[in-house]
Amino acid sequence: MLQGGEPRRLTTQTEHFEFQPSFSRDGRSIVYTTFADEALGAIRVVPADGAEGRVLTTEPGHYADPVFTPDGQEVVYEKGTGGGIVSPLWSNDPGIYRVPIAGGKPVKITTRGTDPHFGKDGERLFLLAVAEEKERDRRALISVDRHGGDERTHLVSHWATQFRVAPDGRSVAFIERFQVYVAPLVAAGREIEI
């Protein structure tokens, strides 16, 4: 909350829970996930001024971590699976997807990684991934091109639990053992252990 300001709700519905809001880089729109036990989840966009929002996803599902591309023309998100205490319905074909902000059919980018985000431009999508199958406790900051190809491993760590590339692409923040650190993001051509 800004100093002296009062919080104001941007949405008015009461049918589902709302999670994981993320602003567009121009600050004009917010993308977020919703979930209700019977209806399951959706990806929604609302103008930051609180005008009427809309649903971007074309089917119910288990969605997480939506973000706008830097140009604001698409939204990238994770589609997961249900089961356990939530419905297993609509759990087919999990992975990372992108969908045009104007609406349309979602396109699968990759099945590898979580926590999608962007650096300076929309050409590389950054993800948190298991570094190697045989070393499941090592986490890596990887990136792929907008179609899911040209995978690169940038950073690996035994203790980091989250990475976030800065909007200018020159540094990375990471959480390690309940502490937050910032380091330069160097284009080394090989993975760097942090």
Over residues 129-147, mean pLDDT = 83
For the stretch 43-84, pLDDT in tens is: 999 999 888 889 999 999 999 999 999 999 999 999 999 988
For the stretch 166-194, pLDDT in tens is: 999 999 999 999 999 999 998 888 888 88
- Give the lowest-confidence range in 12-16, 52-56, 119-123, 129-133: 129-133
Binned at pLDDT 50, 70 and 90, residue 4 comes out as: confident
pTM (2 decimals)?
Answer: 0.91
| Placement of tokens 């087919």 in the chain | 92
pLDDT higher than 80, residue 137: no
* Mean residue pLDDT across the chain: 92
Helices (H) and strands (E) in the chain, counts: 0, 16
Binned at pLDDT 50, 70 and 90, residue 36 comes out as: very high
Q: How far is CA 145 from the centre of its chain?
A: 15
- Tokens representing 59 are 């089917």
| Placement of tokens 């979602």 in the chain | 106
| Placement of tokens 């639990």 in the chain | 161
pLDDT higher than 80, residue 134: no
For the stretch 74-117, pLDDT in tens is: 999 999 999 888 888 999 999 999 999 998 999 999 999 999 99
The confidence score (pLDDT) of residue 94 equals 96
- How large a percentage of the chain has pLDDT more than 70? 96
> Which stretch, 48-52, 127-131, 142-146, has highest mean pLDDT?
142-146
d(CA 88, CA 151) in angstroms, rounded, equals: 30
Do the beta carbons of residue 36 and residue 14 sit within 8 Å?
Answer: no
The confidence score (pLDDT) of residue 22 equals 96
The confidence score (pLDDT) of residue 189 equals 80
Binned at pLDDT 50, 70 and 90, residue 14 comes out as: confident
d(CA 9, CA 144) in angstroms, rounded, equals: 36
- Tokens representing 35 are 């979930």
DSSP structure class, residue 146: T
- Tokens representing 48 are 């930051």
